[in-house]
Structure formats: structure tokens, C-alpha cells
Amino acid sequence: MKTSLLIPLLAALSVGNGFAQERIYRCGNEYTNTVPSGKAGGCKLLEGGNVTVVQGTRPTAPASTPARASASGAQRVDAAEQKSRDADARQILEAELAKAQARQLELQKEYNYGEPALRADETRTSSKYLARVADLKASLLRNESDIAGIRRELGRASLVSAVK
């Protein structure tokens, strides 16, 4: 009688284990226990060990960041203080323009219309001389661009002060 009870009990346990885990399909990065329709999406049946999928939480955006809060709550500067700042900025730009113009004169003098004076270790056809001439020309062009930029900024500064 013991064996007659033991066989149905073992059968019930083995059937119970079969239903403990449903069939799991992997469709890309998604796992599902629903049968995919017509093998669409490259879903594959997973066999073997148990699969545990933990749903992650999505990070929530902070209510407000300090940068936005400070920008929206920025205090206005009074007119006298702003004029003082504008005058300081204009002085700085004018000083930078004067330095750039002086540097331009030095570069033009050294460049000498594309024929700078030879140094002791150079000849007119040496690669060292030609590289120095190319560097001088690039410096002249870069400095001209700097001067034009400073003049644009001075023009903007005068437009801003005229509007106020």
C-alpha cells in the first residue's frame, strides 16, 4: 500500500515542478511569457535555468536645479553699477585693441612683405626659413582676425550703451 501512495505523490510533485515556471521567450532585450505571434521579432524560447527579471525604476528629474533657480531669481543691477561695468569693459577692450595693433606692426615689420631677414642658420631656400615665413604669415592673419573681433565687440558695446 505504501508504494501505491508513493507513485501518485511523486507524479504530482513532478507535474507541479513543470508548472512552476512557464515558458519564457527572449525578444531582443525583452523577456516575455506570452507566445510571440509567428516567430516575429526574432523571439527565442529560453530553456534551462530559471529566469528572473527585475523591473528597474526610472530616474525622476529633480524639481529644479540650482543653476535654473539662480538664473530666474537673479537680481537686477542698478543703472549706475551697469554703466561702471560697461565703462570697465570698454577700457579693457580698448587696451586689448592697442596691444593687438602694436603686435600687428611688429609682425609686419618682421615679415617684411614676405621676405624676412635671414638668420645665421638659414638660407633663402632652407626649409627652416620657409617654415618661419609661413609661421609669420599665419601669425599676421590670426592677429588681423583678433583685431577685427575686438573691433566688433567695441561696436557692440557702443550700441548697448547707446540703447540704454
Grid cell at residue 99: 596691444
Q: Are 53 and 33 in contact (CB under 8 A)?
A: no
- pLDDT higher than 70, residue 84: yes
pLDDT digits (tens, 9 = 90+) for 106-142: 999 999 999 999 999 999 889 999 999 999 999 999 9
pLDDT digits (tens, 9 = 90+) for 24-72: 778 877 877 787 776 556 788 877 766 676 777 777 766 655 555 455 5
What was the pLDDT predicted at 76? 87
Q: Are 22 and 33 in contact (CB under 8 A)?
A: yes
What was the pLDDT predicted at 7? 61
What was the pLDDT predicted at 93? 94
Q: Are strands 44-46 and 24-27 parallel, antiparallel or unpaired?
A: antiparallel
User: What is the distance between the alpha carbons of residues 98 and 104, in angstroms, rounded to a whole number?
Assistant: 10
Please report, for the chain, the start and end positions of each structural domain, with discontinuous segments joined by +: 13-51, 77-163
**Which residue did the predictor score with more confidence, 58 or 147?**
147
Low-confidence winner among 2-11, 16-25, 34-43 (lowest mean pLDDT)? 2-11
